[in-house]
Amino acid sequence: MDIETAANIGEAVSGIAILFTLLFSLRQMKHWNENRRYEIGRDLAAHMNNPLVHRGFSVSTVKLHDELTPQELAALSREEKDAMNALMIGMNNIGVLAKNGHLSMDLVDDFTGVYVRMFASRWRRVIQIFMMVNMSKNDAPTEGVWSGLFWLLDRFDPQE
């Protein structure tokens, strides 16, 4: 075997090694993405299984309605207000993550879609009251605070 043949064989072997390295890297990336998706789903499930969030859904079902008044909202107990706060801030965070592409829409829909569709008008009313109350206290607009929840509401219940 002359030196040119050996060099050609060496190039072929190194090309095959590079190809196997690339294929292995792609497999590792796919595995990492699957694990990350699992972890995100687990985190979403943990949030949705929080007893305070469950209480927020209960308050949304029993105490909230489409014509809710600021007085009715103020009359909620401290526990009910805390539960609604936990629920709506969590849903807002989920919306922000989904809007920015950090959560897949199929996971968001599986975990939250039914609730957003069910309570959208009630949550919109709570946000309206919140913004009315806070606009009288602040000069700065407060809509941006709820951008993720508004995005979810518009995505699953496009009423406006």
Range of the domain at 85: 50-156
Q: Are residues 101 and 140 in the same domain?
A: yes
What pLDDT sits at residue 130? 86
Average pLDDT estimate for 44-53: 92
Q: Are residues 27 and 55 in the same domain?
A: no
The verdict on residue 79 lying in a domain is: yes
Residue 1 pLDDT class (50, 70, 90 cuts): confident
Residue 139 pLDDT class (50, 70, 90 cuts): low
Helix residue spans in the chain (DSSP H):
3-48, 51-62, 70-74, 78-99, 105-108, 114-137, 147-156
Q: Are residues 85 and 124 in the same domain?
A: yes
The verdict on residue 24 lying in a domain is: yes
Whole-angstrom distance, CA of residue 157 vs CA of residue 119: 9
What pLDDT sits at residue 140? 58
What SS3 class is residue 103?
coil
pLDDT of 100-114, one tens digit each?
Answer: 988 889 999 999 999
Average pLDDT estimate for 76-89: 95
Helix residue spans in 49-113 (DSSP H):
51-62, 70-74, 78-99, 105-108
What SS3 class is residue 67?
coil
